[in-house]
């Protein structure tokens, strides 16, 4: 067997093969399920828009909604081995390093989602569009293209580079928080993650409100604008985007440390 206790490419390939053999049915069922759901949902929304009013931009908005919501549901299923004692023991005793197992989970749950979901969506959207157009010709915008849809979306909301970056970070936040929650909580990770996030956000909002009220910041006027390093709207957006990024990286490191703790 390969040496290297931290990472071995050969062992990592074994881990992938192991997972493919064990999960091939589940992968097949999931892909079929998502394909069917997207097909039906697209048809439903197109019919709501009377078909002729459905545009490439509509498909893009629908894609972004699915990317975040279905993606979040998928990442909340991360670390399935931690859902029961029997599964955990088998997983933890499998001769692969913690780093390999974590990286594998990260690749399968987040990287694969980010890369493969748009491809699946593109295939389904175009297949569905072609089929529906064949039977209902008033669906004129039946060919979906990201290269057209995404720029259209950005220009529609007049988004700057930092706006786009913030949207990406928020999307990643959904994935990373559910990924971390799935690692932290053994039972019902999705509900517990949502609850925990709600408590944190509510607590932070309350704290900010009390601070605002207590210090009477409503009437505060900065006497010397120079002391603030954020001086423009763009600056605020940049700070917000960078802030989200820091939160995301923090969540990922929490997931790693929790994963290490799960071993004992």
Partner 1 sequence: MIQIKDLNFAYPGQQALFKSLSVHLEAGSITGLLGKNGAGKTSLLKLLIGLLHPQSGNVSVQGQKPMNRNVSFLENVFFVPEEFYFPAISITEYQKANTPFYPNFDHEMMERILVDFELQKENNLQRLSFGQKKKFLIAFSLATRCPLLVLDEPTNGLDIPSKSLFRKILAGSIDTNQLVIISTHQVKDVENLIDKIIILDKGRVIFQENIADISQKVSFISGTSADLPGAIYSEQIPGGYRIIASDRHTETEVDIELLFNAITNGKKIV
Cβ proximity to partner 1: between 54 and 82 the closer is 82
Residue 253 CB, nearest approach to partner 1 (Å): 20
Site for partner 1 in 90-109 (CB under 8 A): 90, 92-98
Site for partner 1 in 21-40 (CB under 8 A): 21-23, 25
Report the distance separating Cα 74 and Cα 77, nearest Å. 5
Residue-by-residue DSSP string for 117-158: HHHHHHHHHHHHHHHHHHH-TT-------HHHHHHHHHHHTT
Q: Does 215 bind partner 1 (CB under 8 A)?
A: no
Handedness of CA 136, 141, 146, 150 (dihedral sign): negative
Report the distance separating Cα 167 and Cα 178, nearest Å. 17
Tell me how far CA of residue 207 lies from CA of 51, 199, 200, 239, in angstroms: 48, 12, 10, 20
Which residue, 264, 254, 61, is CA-closest to 176?
Answer: 254
Residue 126 CB, nearest approach to partner 1 (Å): 34
Backbone torsion region of residue 10, taken as left when φ is above 0, otherwise alpha when ψ lies between -120 and 50, otherwise beta: alpha
Cβ proximity to partner 1: between 133 and 258 the closer is 258
Cβ proximity to partner 1: between 11 and 190 the closer is 11
Residue 222 CB, nearest approach to partner 1 (Å): 49
Site for partner 1 in 219-248 (CB under 8 A): none
Cβ proximity to partner 1: between 84 and 160 the closer is 84
Cβ proximity to partner 1: between 14 and 168 the closer is 14
Report the distance separating Cα 18 and Cα 200, nearest Å. 38
Residues 5-24 vs partner 1: string with x where CB under 8 A?
Answer: x--x--x--x--xx--xxx-
Residue 90 CB, nearest approach to partner 1 (Å): 6
Backbone torsion region of residue 79, taken as left when φ is above 0, otherwise alpha when ψ lies between -120 and 50, otherwise beta: left
Q: How many residues bind partner 1 (CB under 8 A)?
A: 28
Cβ proximity to partner 1: between 190 and 262 the closer is 262
Residue 257 CB, nearest approach to partner 1 (Å): 15
Residue 80 CB, nearest approach to partner 1 (Å): 10
Site for partner 1 in 47-86 (CB under 8 A): 84-86
In residues, how long is the chain?
A: 264
User: 3-state SS of the chain: helix, strand, coil percent to 5?
Assistant: 80, 0, 20
Q: Which residues bind partner 1 (CB under 8 A)?
A: 1, 3-5, 8, 11, 14, 17-18, 21-23, 25, 84-87, 89-90, 92-98, 263-264
């Amino acid at each position: 067997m390969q040496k290297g206790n931290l990472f071995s490419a050969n062992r990592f390939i074994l881990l992938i093969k192991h997972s493919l053999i064990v999960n091939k049915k589940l992968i097949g069922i999931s892909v079929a399920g998502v394909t069917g759901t997207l097909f039906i949902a697209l048809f439903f929304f197109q019919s709501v828009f009377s078909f002729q009013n459905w545009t490439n931009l509509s498909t893009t908005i629908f894609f972004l909604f699915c990317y975040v919501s279905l993606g979040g549901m998928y990442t909340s299923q991360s670390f399935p081995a931690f859902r029961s004692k029997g599964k955990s023991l088998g997983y933890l005793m499998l001769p692969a390093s913690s780093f390999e197992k974590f990286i594998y989970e990260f690749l399968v749950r987040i990287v694969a989602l980010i890369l493969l979901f748009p491809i699946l969506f593109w295939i389904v959207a175009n297949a569905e569009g072609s089929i529906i157009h064949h039977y209902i010709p008033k669906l004129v915008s039946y060919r979906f293209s990201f290269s057209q849809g995404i720029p259209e979306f950005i220009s529609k909301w007049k988004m700057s580079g930092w706006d786009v970056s913030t949207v990406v970070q928020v999307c990643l936040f959904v994935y990373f928080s559910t990924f971390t929650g799935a690692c932290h909580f053994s039972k019902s990770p999705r509900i517990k993650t949502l609850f925990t996030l709600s408590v944190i956000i509510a607590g932070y909002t309350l704290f900010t409100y009390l601070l605002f009220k207590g210090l009477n910041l409503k009437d505060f006027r900065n006497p010397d604008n120079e002391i603030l390093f954020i001086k423009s709207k763009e600056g605020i957006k940049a700070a917000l985007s960078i802030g989200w990024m820091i939160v995301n990286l923090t969540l990922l490191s929490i997931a790693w440390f929790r994963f290490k703790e799960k071993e004992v």
